[in-house]
Each structure stands twice: as structure tokens, then as C-alpha cells.
Amino acid sequence: MFFASDNQSCASQPVMNAIVAANQGFTHGYGDDPFTQEAIASLKDVFECDLEVLFVPTGTAANCLALASLVQPWQTVLCHSSSHILMDESTAPEFFTGGARMQGFAEHAGKMSAEHLQSYLADAGDDIPHNPQVAALSIAQTNELGLVYSPSEIKAISAVCKQHNLKLHMDGARFANALAHLNCSPAELTWKAGVDALSLGATKCGALCAEAVIFFNKEDAKASMHLRKRAGHLISKGRLFGAQFRAWFENNHWLELARHANHQAQGLAQALALIDDVKIPWPVNANELFIILPKALGDHLNAQGAEFYDWYPSTLPEGMSLSPDKRYVRLVTSFLTTERHCHEFIQCIHDYQKASLR
């Protein structure tokens, strides 16, 4: 019962097959190979635009190379106070940007609003060297609580960004899951809504190791090939990334994988909603669900082999707090999650509750 993260899964069969197929004979190194070129072509098709892209091995590298391309070392990157880029990537953003400020801000846990961003920026320092001026905003899609921003929410946020001359970065480690939830086009969810740069993660959704930094404005990408090389993220056998991305996009494989993962999360949520003593504090949009459960039950589940992380109490909905006899945990489903896995989890709970009644 692996619900700790979608990166506990292997690669999907079609993605793996593509790696195997690409592993034949000689090619040029460093991305000058047909697999990489075809993956880039696929990306342009999928996003319906010209773009610059760098393939890299991790989401942290993708996020931070994007930010390092968008801001100067004396500027500030805004993000939600509980965002992954702030909480879970060490000080990688500071490292890659040469020491720019990372500034979390939040009205409350959950999605940020254009209104709150507007009011925050009204008090954010003048254009003097003393103040580290805000130069970019980073939002996650899906976000750190599994919530999905609609194209119109993103448009509203990007309008505030443009007004204050901020670049808009999207951390799309689970972009496919957001897309599968929304049923809109990748273009509508990114550049058409005002996103300047996207970190597109395939690893959590069926790839083995494949992330991309996508710049919708080529000007923003000027320094990026140097930044990637000096960060050690230019791999020599580029076909590894090229093959994965090409296969991921082929026949909408990525969206099928994401839809499956989301569907499992929905199923799990529905089953959990029927259980006394388990609360689901956030809506389940994509493939993450957060639950509050009795500590003893949580410990029992762990003992039975269920894997999941306790989550930051600061990310509970406003006004909600965690009593000491409860746990607040995150469950993540993936393309590899089956109904059997979910059923087993639910069954474990039922067994525990039954035993407790005795």
C-alpha cells in the first residue's frame, strides 16, 4: 500500500519500452539526437506554440533553472508559504539563483488568490537597492494540497503579475494530473493564461526520470543552457530524456496515466468519506488526498504496511487545528495504483475499527 508519493511507482510500460528502443547504437551526445529532437517537436505540438525547453533529471532542477532564468540575485521570488519549492527543495532556489530571496506568503492554506497577491504587492517595498524587489511568482499546479487552479484563476493571478512586472512560473510536477482534472488544453493552462515558464514533470506520472523546463518566451531562456551546464544537469546520453518524453506524449499516454491516478484518488476519497473518524479537509481534485484520522488508526495502518507522510499542520484549512490524538496525512495515488490497493487500505481501516469495537 504505497501512498507516500507517486514517485514510489516505476515507469509505465510504454515509457520503459521507449527507453529500451532508444538504447541502440550510437547517437550524438548532449541532446543532439533524434529522440530529443522528436520530444521537442512533440512539446511544441502539445503546447501549440514555439518554445524553448531543457530536459533535466529532477523537479528541483527544473524549478530552480526556471527561476534562475527569470530573476536576478538581488530580487525576490514569491510563492505560497506552504509550497513545495519553499518547504521541500532545501535551499536549491537560493543556490541556483545566486542568492535571490524566496518569500512565502499566504492568506491561508490552499490556493492563493489574485486579490491577496494584489494586496500583498501593495506593501512589498520600493524600487531602491535596500529592498529586494519581487520579480517573479511561482505557483504549483496541482498545488501543494492537491488543488488545481482553473485557467481563469491563473489568468487573474497573471494579470496582477503583469501589472507589477513579475514573471509567472508554474511548478508542474503534477501538471498532467491538473490537466486531466480540468479537461482544458495545455496551452489554455499555461501561456494562454499568462504563464512564462513551466516545470513539466513526467517522473511522478509514469516516467522513470524525466523533467522539462519550458520557456514560452525565448528571451527568458537566453542564459538557461549555461545555467544547466554549470549546475551539472546537461546529461550526455540525452536520448534517455528524449525517449521518455516522446513516449509520454504519444497517443495521449500522459493524460491516460494522470486520469487513472486521479480516478483512484477519487475512489479512495469516496470510500474514506463513508468512514467515521476520518475527515477529508480538502477537496480532492487530482491524485492527492489529505485526511485527518485517529492517531491509533494511522499507526495501525503503518504497521500493516501502508505508507504515507504526515503533513504540515500549518496547511490545514483556516481555523482548523490538529488535536494530539489525531494525525493529518497525505495519500497519493499514481498510474500504478489499482482498486485492489485502495480496497486493501480501506479494508485495513474496517478491520481496525471492528477490532476496536470488541
Residues between 282 and 311 that touch a copy of itself (CB under 8 A):
307
Give 238's Cβ-side CA count (13 Å radius): 21
Hey, which residues between 222 and 241 contact a copy of itself (CB under 8 A)? 223, 225-237, 239-240
Query: Which amino acid belongs to residue 215?
Result: F
Nearest approach in angstroms of CB 180 to a copy of itself is 20
- Is the Cβ of residue 127 or residue 276 nearer to a copy of itself in the bound state? 127
Determine if 218 is a binding residue for a copy of itself (CB under 8 A). Answer: no
CA dist., res. 342 & res. 28, Å (int): 45
Hey, which residues between 104 and 143 contact a copy of itself (CB under 8 A)? 104, 123, 125, 129-132
Nearest approach in angstroms of CB 238 to a copy of itself is 10
167, containing H or E segment: strand 167-172
Determine if 329 is a binding residue for a copy of itself (CB under 8 A). Answer: no
Hey, which residues between 141 and 180 contact a copy of itself (CB under 8 A)? none
- Is the Cβ of residue 48 or residue 299 nearer to a copy of itself in the bound state? 299
Q: Which three cell numbers stand for residue 281?
A: 479537509
CA dist., res. 48 & res. 220, Å (int): 19
CA dist., res. 204 & res. 289, Å (int): 15
The answer to whether 56 touches 65, Cβ cutoff 8 Å, is yes
Gyration radius of the chain over CA positions:
21
Hey, which residues between 44 and 73 contact a copy of itself (CB under 8 A)? 56-62, 64-65, 72-73
Nearest to 323 by CA among 295, 303, 290: 295
Stretch of 106-114, 203-211, 213-221, 260-268 contacting a copy of itself, by CB under 8 A: 203-211
Nearest approach in angstroms of CB 184 to a copy of itself is 27
Q: Which three cell numbers stand for residue 312?
A: 504540515
| Single residue of 45, 91, 273, 295 touching a copy of itself by CB under 8 A | 91
Stretch of 17-25, 136-144, 150-158, 187-195 contacting a copy of itself, by CB under 8 A: 17-25
3-state secondary structure of 97: coil
